[in-house]
Structure formats: C-alpha cells, structure tokens
Structure 1
Amino acid sequence: MLDWTDRHYRYLARIMSTELLLYTEMVTTGAIIHGKGDYLAYNSEENPLALQLGGSNPQDLATCAKLAAERGYDEINLNVGCPSDRVQSGRFGACLMADPKLVAECVTAMKQVVDIPVTVKTRIGIDDQDSYEFLTEFVDTVSDVGCDTFIVHARKAWLQGLSPKQNREIPPLDYQRVYRLKQDYPKLHISINGGVKTLDECRQHLLHIDGVMVGREAYQNPYILAEVDQRLCGSNKSVLSRDAVLEKFIPYIEKHLVEGGRLNHITRHMTGMFQGEPGSRAWRRYISENAHKQGAGIEVIEQARKKMDC
C-alpha cells in the first residue's frame, strides 16, 4: 500500500481497533540504509506493527531487520508480491517468486539477527508459472529455513504487460488455492489477501485459513475497521461511532499541525470515513477543496462534518 498506509493512516486505524496487526507501506532497504529521512519512524500507539521490507540482498535486509527490531517493530515482512516495474528493476517484489532459494537466503539472514517473526507476503504465481506445484515449491523452500507465516495474495502477478493497478484486478482470484495450501501445510500460518471487502467475507475466509489481510477496502472505507475487534476477535467493548473516532483523532492532528505538518497530509486518509452515509459526498468535497490550503486547521474537519447535515 505504497503511499497509502503511512503512519497517519495507521494511527487512525489503531483508534478503531486494538487487535489488528498493522503493516507499514513497503519500504526498500535502500531507502532505510541510504535515505535522508527516517523511514522507520512510527507512533508507539501503532503497535502491534509489522515492517514490510522490499529488497533482495540478504545482508541489507538483515541490517534493516535489526534496526527495525531495535526500534520496536513486532514483525518483519518480506514483500514477494509487488509486481511494479520499479520494483522489478530493483530485483524484489513478485519477481522473487522465481528464485525461492534467494528468498530463503534473505529470510535466513534476517532471522539470524532478530528475535521477532520474519514472514513473507507472496502471490500464488507469476506469469505462466502459476501451477499449484510452483507455489508449493516456493513455500517448501522458504519454510524449510524457518519461515512459518505466509500472507498469500490469491492472484498471480503478470510481471509484463499489466500495471500494478491491473495486477490487483485482472488476474482472477483463486481463494481455493490458498485454502488448499493451508490444508496441505497445517503447521504453517496462512493468511489470505486480495479482493476482501467486508467483515462477513473475513469470517468466511477464517473458516479455512488463519488470517485475513485487508488492503484497499480498509483504506477507501476505513470505518470497516471499527467492528473488527467485536466481530472477529471476540471483544465486548463498544463500537466507536464515526464521530467518536474523529474526536479521538483530533489531538493527533493538532500535534501534527503544531509540529509544522500540513492538514492534507492526514485528511487524505479520512475522505472515506463516512462512505455510504448521508452527506458523505459533501464531506469528501469540502475536505478535498480546503485541506490543502495554507494554514488549514481543525476547522476544516469541523466544517466538513457540518456540511453533511446541510
């Protein structure tokens, strides 16, 4: 979820659910090691939090994993699922499915320097290498070095000819293949990803596998997360209303503004908060037209909420 699930979005998500395991955007080893910014920065309230790494050099990945563990991350997740051209040119992402031995070397290097889990996010196949046997060979090789958790996007990736957006939509979903993987590898923790839009769908998947990763829907319709703890995790606490979520988020936004941040850095993650509610279009429009303006503050959010009642 590059450029989407940044620390501002994750803070919002954590307000709605204390049980979710949150994942960062994919961060490359090059950015962490050579970049000028702090690419490992996050808010402590986000934990439990997994760092998703992009890279294929075992030593660089080990360096980044160690830094992340020292900073308090709860999991290191190696991305072997992203199909973009930019990722392929750096020899990481989905193209690594074709080299399971290298992925195993990467996992081994990271596991040698951290005590937190090292997991892998992958596809069910790439290009014409999309047989179940291809997938199991990959899982066999990587699990043999101690990786016991796989998050499987239930689509193959076309490395040439499709954009990243098309790769999230055109290759057909094959949930049954992921279910079969869990049946054949009962000792592994298998989570499913791809096309999940409702908590009812999550519950159905959990009858067959161990976990569900929700990406685009949780971003575009973030309030879906407000009932996760109650409906999927057995919590008895009350569900926060949308307005209660905003109220809890305001102090974080104010702190961001005081520190010199711009309002639209945060509000871009909030436009879907009232999806499906009366007045949601007015909410989105007002924020989109005003949050980017110089000096915009909390009053933009307050006015956007009032516009919904007009």
Structure 2
Amino acid sequence: NASLAKSNLTRASLGSADLSNTDASGANFTQARMANANLINTNLRSANLTNANLDSTKMLGADLAGALITGAIFTISDISLAQLQSTASYQAGNLRGISLDGIKMIGWDFHGQDLTSANLVGSPLTDADFRGANLSNVRLESVNLVDAETIYNQWTVFRSISPADQARMTYHESPLGDMDANDVLDIADVDLLMKVIRLQADSLLGWLFPMFNVSNDADVDTADLGMWVHDLKHTWFGDANLDGGFNSSDLVIIFQAGEYEDEVENNSTWATGDWNADGDFTTSDLVVAFQDGGYEQGPRAALSAVPEPNGLLSLLIGLMGLLLRARPGPRAARTSLCTNL
C-alpha cells in the first residue's frame, strides 16, 4: 500500500477502506470517517485520530503508540487494552469524549483517566479500575472499582450500579451550559452546542440531550444557542473571544482567521465567525451578530435594555460594502478588512 505517513486526511471519507499494513505514522485523521476500515497491522504511530470515527474497524496488530485519540469512536472495534495504553492520550490521562461502547473491558485500567463525555455503555466493566477517574457526562454500565476521587455529575448515566458503589464516589454538579464539565462556560462549550445543533446526530445527543437542551423545550436548536449566549454567558452574538462584549476586536479576530466565505465546508467555529451554528463563516453570521444589537455596547449585563439594531445594521451594510470593494480574492479581502477596522 502507498505510504500515508504525515498525510493530512482531516475529515477524509475512508469508510470500509483497506489500510492494512499501511504506513500512516504521523498522519492527521482528525474527524476522519473510517467506519469499517481495515487497519490490521497499520502503522498509526503518533497519528492524530481526534474525533475520528473508527466504528467497527479491524485493528489487530495496529500500532497506536503515541497516537491522539480524544473524542474518537471505537464502537465495536477490536482495539485492545495494550493498544489503548500505548496512545499519547491515555498516557496523558485524557480520554475525553472517547466511545468504547460494545467492547469487552473486564479488568481494564482507567485509573486516573479523564473520561468526561465518554460512551462506555454496552461494555462489560467488571473489575475495571475507575479509581480517581472523571466520569462526568459518561454513560456506562455498573462499576465496582471506584473511590472517593472518582467524580461523576448530574449527566452521568449508570445503567446499573449498587447504592454502595455510588456512595463511594464524589458527586460534583456541573453548571448549566458547561458542556465539557470543566466548570467554565467557554468557547469549547458553545462550539460543542453548535455542533450538536448542526448535526443533530444521535451519537452526539444521546443521553446528553437534557444537557444540551438548556432552554428545556422539545429540541436542541438555535433557541438553546441564544439562551447560552444571552442568559448563561451574558454576552452577545459576535463576541468571538467571549470577553463579554462585541466590538471591533472581535471583527479583527474573525477576519484574521481567514474563513470568511472560504471553500472549506464546516470548518468555522464561534471564534472564527460561525454564529448561526451552520459550520461556516458567511454574511449570515454578521447579520445575526449585528441584529443582536450588541456592537460596541459593552457588557450585556450592564444594559437595562437591548438597543435597537437599526443603526448597527447600517454599520453592517457599510462593512459588507468595504468587504466587496476590497476583495479581488479572499486573502486580499481579509487584509483590507483587518487594516480598516
């Protein structure tokens, strides 16, 4: 097979691909779709598999030493404990968001691991070591090897657990809107919420639907995004750096990121201009931000009433005119905008 060493395969569609015996060391598979792929004896040393979908992959003999696997989906794959322990993520104690459901993990060692938002349901875990582990937002079966340093929160789902085992753990409630259980409402939280709104995937919602549904209605949608921005974070749409205000600094940040109307789908985040949860930075996001009425108004909490957006929309029209006049190409537009803000 041709070498894929150090290749950039971000978001690549590799479902059912035969990559057996391939050198993919150091390759970037971030968010790659690799379900049912053949990875037997594949060299994945130091590869980046963050948020990759490896559902039902064949992994016998695959070398994962030094690989990054946070957020990766290994559902019903044949990954082994030795392979897991060889990864950089395991050795750093960071298995956040990993899916290992449907894998027999009797006696596996998760001592001290951060498993926040991991999916371990359907996996036998008898005598698996979860002492000192962070089980916030996790869905799993019963556990019996825990201690007072094992943490869980209101979104943790135990399918079955004895009262005695649960009493040995420490309960720590996460703030509303804290999607990654780090006790802070930050860009990672709003990005995760927007991803769920955009994709509406059961694998993303699942048992965490009540956590994402901050508006407490029937759906996870832009109403939840609005509540997160206004009522939980107390800021404005357009506040790219979440410092509490929407101003020219935020516009500089998003245009310097260089994703305005680019040709890469779903590559934008809150910090790079996606404010309507569609995954891209376009004129629509600027309309959302300026209609919200917070431009140069200071912190939202300091205002007794939200200002009328009419004058701000005029500013938006002027800004877009500047963009169109100064944009023979995408990069030239970004330079002109950042210079004139």
Query: Normalization by structure 1: what TM-score?
Result: 0.36
Please identify the structure whose Cα radius of gyration is greater. Answer: 2
* Higher RCO, Cα 8 Å, sep 6+: 1
Query: Normalization by structure 2: what TM-score?
Result: 0.34
Q: Which has the higher helix share?
A: 1
Q: Which has the higher strand share?
A: 1
